[in-house]
Amino acid sequence: MSQEVSAQAAQLHRAIGLLVKQYQCRDRNDVCCYGISVSQCYALEALGEHGTLTMQALAAHLHLAVSTVTRILAPLVEKGFVERHTTPRDRRLCCVSLSTAGARLYQTIQADLVAREQAVLQRIPARARDHVVWAITELSRAMAALPTTDDPAHPTCISMKEE
C-alpha cells in the first residue's frame, strides 16, 4: 500500500471514529426520547424498510443472533409496536411486522432523523453536498463488500492472527 493511501486510511479512520461517536450520541438522544432503545429503533427500521420478516431474516439484517433479536423485540411487542405471528404453511416459523402504531413511530423517527440530516447538509457548502452524499454511499458499499470474520474463504486481520 502506498504511503498516500496509508495516510488517507489513517485520516479516514479518525474521521469515521468521530462520526460514529457523534451519531451514537445523536441516536441515543433523539431515538430514546420515544421510549425505545437504539437497538429497538434499528429493528423498527429494518421492519419498516423490508416489511414482514422471519426472526432469522431480521437477525441477519441487524447482524445479531436470533436470541438477541428476540430480547430486543420483546418490549416492542409489549408496547404494541411489533406483532409476532406464524405462517400458515409452517407454524414453527415466527414472523414479525410493524403494527399500525409501530409504522407510525417508525415514520416519525425517520422524519426526525432526515430533518437532522438536512440540518447537517445545510452546514456543508451547496456545491459539495452531492459529493458528500456520493462519497458516504460509496464508503458504505465498500465496507459492505469487505470480507467478514465469519467468512473462511476471505481471511481478515482477526483470523490471520490465529494462524
In this model, does residue 97 exceed pLDDT 90? yes
Task: Record the cell numbers describing residue 135, joined without a space.
Answer: 462519497
CATH number for position 101: 1.10.10.10
Domain residue limits at 49: 37-128
Task: Confirm whether 105 is domain-assigned.
Answer: yes
Residue keyed to cell 414453527: 92
Structure confidence at residue 158 (pLDDT): 44
Structurally, the chain folds into a number of domains equal to: 1
Residue-wise pLDDT tens digits, 137-147? 999 999 888 88
E strands within 23-156?
A: 53-54, 82-86, 94-98
Three-state secondary structure call for residue 98: strand
Nearest Cα to 109, choosing from 6, 26, 53, 50?
Answer: 26
Task: Confirm whether 140 is domain-assigned.
Answer: no
In this model, does residue 152 exceed pLDDT 90? no
pTM for this entry: 0.77
Task: Confirm whether 16 is domain-assigned.
Answer: no
What is the average per-residue pLDDT within 28-45? Answer: 83
With 0-12 / 13-18 / 19 or more C-beta atoms within 10 angstroms meaning exposed / middle / buried, residue 85 is exposed
Task: Confirm whether 66 is domain-assigned.
Answer: yes
